[in-house]
A and B are shown apart, each in its own frame.
Chain A
């Protein structure tokens, strides 16, 4: 019964999306204003229906309803409750339903709250949102129905991909999805504004919270995904340039550029075409990511739900949305005026420079990710890895970080470089000191050295917008910018440390033997079998002491999951303020010794701490903009009230 309710709600919501699209489109005609008024209620009810539909699926997983095909294929009666719940989106159908649900809730929220845009642009935006949603509804209802019943109920359920039975990964996909969906909302705004030719600062201000929100979630999602890959895959690295990882990085790069350009459009009415273009590209990248992950056209360590038929469906959606919007953009771009002008020494031009650099990095990642696919079409098998991605993206990242240090100090529109001489000198001095100091005393690669110097210089520079100001009076949005930019410096410091200072040991030990890695003395105590709720494992007991200090116990495992069968490496981490000891258990050698892989990674945690700071900065910016918006509204209301009182008199 519950499954049928969920399915019915899904169908009704799809019908409403169709109505929303049709009414919004009809409203664009001269006499259509009244029918257009229907789009808002349609969007709100659609959001409610999807909330119901998603709740139904959640319930089916929670009680492990074994007559529902999806539950049987992805859950198990014996699975811990938390993973039963996260199993809802740990599969293709459920994650698509989550996607559509978040999208419809976002649509409902815009329809309910957004009053800044002219009504016809708003209706066109909602029509575009209905159009995008409709494709996903079709996908769900015709090719990936999450509520499909089995002819006869199953006995126990098959399980869940063990790699996904991890608390980090359980919440990683929804985080990214919220980001993707936020970009789809921004995309709808762009289409609406293009259709009604109203690319204005008001449009940018309406879109900005969605772009910022999407970006915050994408940042968190990538940070969490990176940490998950780091400790769960047992490879000891934090970024592998895997197609699936790139699929989330590309929308983030586009969203980062978009967010800065939306800011310029909102504040200065410049960069209109560029903002619209980035809005289309950011959503295109999230669609492309979905396609790459789910179609099976690229092989990856963690692609899932691979199915050519679904791939064809997403490709069709891709052509419809991306092709359509790029064509719309091309047709309308000529009629968008460029807006306000600015000079070279201005905050706008620094932002434009960094937007171009971000776009270049996006191009580098896109090319590297798609190149194997293109090559394969011509019967050549290639794989593109860090030797390409690292140096080529660094070529654009280094100048970007340098400009990032200077940009926030410049004024809008027109400034003089001489005005910001002192702060630039201070940051520059920090950079040079770090470069010389580290270069002389620590032996490291040139790229890592540049990374350290940039991180230190940027760290100093990013705090300078606060310099000499009353900190209590600094706007929240400025705090957000400072936090995000400082976060970039922190993450960069972590990355440079990981590259330059990591020490690695591959040891073969019999119990009782010790090995030294960095400042650590590591002793293998023993190896024993372990059993969990749905896995068995070999677990090593390791005692590690830092610089002769107290011993700490670590227990890395080589784990075998039973349902379905899969082997995973559970690394063990010992975190200190100055870094992490990372241990994994390998094979037993014929002579009975056990292989241990050990890394001492100084300051590695700063990579993810930086990511969190960046996301926090974005969240502060949202709060700041909303506060300004609310204050402006209340002032306008007071003025209106005063006028109202004065009129009768």
Chain B
């Protein structure tokens, strides 16, 4: 075997190791951001969750609810989602501060929703039932829970991925203020 065949693999390998080592030190942006931030909310028309069948609220919730001039939170959640339980106290706190929160319940059953709200509190001004994730997919959300800041014109201003922890509240309030 000649010299090239004998030393070549080692040289190639060391070159690769150098490049790979360099790549490892480069910062990577791993977060998935919705491409919808800065764009208007897509049109939707969903059945509303009606707690006791009293029929006193609207029967359907549409994107129009976000175009009344007041900024709101859109919270994508589900009764079967455990991080949503962890998030519930923060949503309560936000509601007490006067923040309007519209919930979108993903693939949920009314009785499960009722049970969840009874146990963990109901911070929502309205809850829409999204049985086939159409709103969720439409606004570029990839999981539950996720929270969006929507301004008074129905434009998506900010996306929060995952459950809202106590340290996130000030961020959300700031974004709401900026949107209003």
Contact = CB atoms under 8 A, between A and B. Distances in A.
B24 interface: yes
Contacts of B82: 156, 562-563
A373 B23 CA distance: 8
Contacts of A587: 132, 137
Please classify how large the interface on chain A is, using the bins under 10, 10 to 19, 20 to 34, 35 or more.
35 or more
B116 interface: no
Contacts of B107: 529, 536, 538, 560
15 contacts: A277-B9, A297-B23, A297-B24, A308-B24, A315-B24, A322-B13, A327-B10, A329-B10, A333-B1, A370-B16, A374-B19, A377-B23, A538-B107, A587-B132, A587-B137
Nearest to A76: B82
A377 B22 contact: yes
A308 B28 CA distance: 10
A412 B164 CA distance: 71
Interface string A520-534: 000000000100000
**Secondary structure of the A side of the interface?**
helix
Contact of B20 (A273, A297, A538, A562): A297
A284 interface: yes
B134 A562 contact: no
Contact of B9 (A281, A563, A566): A281
A66 to B, nearest CB: 14
Contacts, number: 77
A538 B136 CA distance: 15
Interface in A449-494: none
B17 interface: yes
Nearest to B43: A590
A560 B13 CA distance: 42
A291 B134 CA distance: 39
B6 A333 contact: yes
Given A326-B9, A565-B81, A566-B143, A318 B17 contact: yes
A386 B136 CA distance: 33
Contacts of B28: 296, 308
A429 to B, nearest CB: 40
Contacts of A308: 24-25, 28
A167 interface: no
B177 interface: no
A562 B107 CA distance: 11
**Secondary structure of the B side of the interface?**
helix
Contacts of B20: 291, 295, 297, 315, 373
Most-contacted residue by chain B among A297, A563, A565, A588 (CB, 10 A):
A565
B124 interface: no
Contacts of B10: 323, 326-327, 329-330
A312 interface: yes
Interface residues of B, number: 31
A396 to B, nearest CB: 19
Contacts of B80: 536, 562
Interface in B88-138: 106-107, 131-134, 137
- Top 8 nearest A-B pairs (CB, nearest first) are A565-B143, A326-B10, A330-B6, A297-B23, A536-B107, A333-B6, A377-B19, A311-B24
A588 B19 contact: no
A334 interface: yes
B132 A538 contact: yes
B137 to A, nearest CB: 8
Nearest to B82: A563
A315 B17 contact: yes
Interface in A279-326: 280-281, 284, 291, 295-297, 308, 311-312, 315, 318-319, 322-323, 326
A281 to B, nearest CB: 7
Contacts of B1: 273, 333
B55 interface: no
Contacts of A291: 20
A376 interface: yes
Contacts of A538: 107, 132
B49 to A, nearest CB: 16
Given A291-B20, A562-B82, A587-B132, 16 more contacts: A156-B82, A281-B9, A296-B28, A312-B24, A315-B21, A319-B14, A322-B13, A323-B14, A323-B17, A326-B9, A373-B19, A529-B131, A565-B81, A587-B137, A588-B132, A588-B134
B144 interface: yes
Contacts of B16: 370
A326 B19 CA distance: 18
B147 to A, nearest CB: 14
Interface in B1-51: 1, 6-7, 9-10, 13-14, 16-17, 19-25, 28
Most-contacted residue by chain A among B13, B19, B25, B144 (CB, 10 A):
B13
A562 B22 contact: no
Nearest to B23: A297
A416 B25 CA distance: 58
A330 to B, nearest CB: 5
Contacts of B9: 277, 280-281, 326, 329
A322 B12 CA distance: 11
Contacts of A327: 10
A281 B17 CA distance: 15
Contacts of A280: 9
B122 to A, nearest CB: 21
A560 B137 CA distance: 13
Contacts of A273: 1
Interface in A333-373: 333-334, 370, 373
Contacts of B13: 284, 322-323, 326
A374 B15 CA distance: 10
Interface in B43-95: 78, 80-83
Most-contacted residue by chain A among B6, B83, B143 (CB, 10 A):
B6
A49 B24 CA distance: 34
Contacts of B143: 564-566
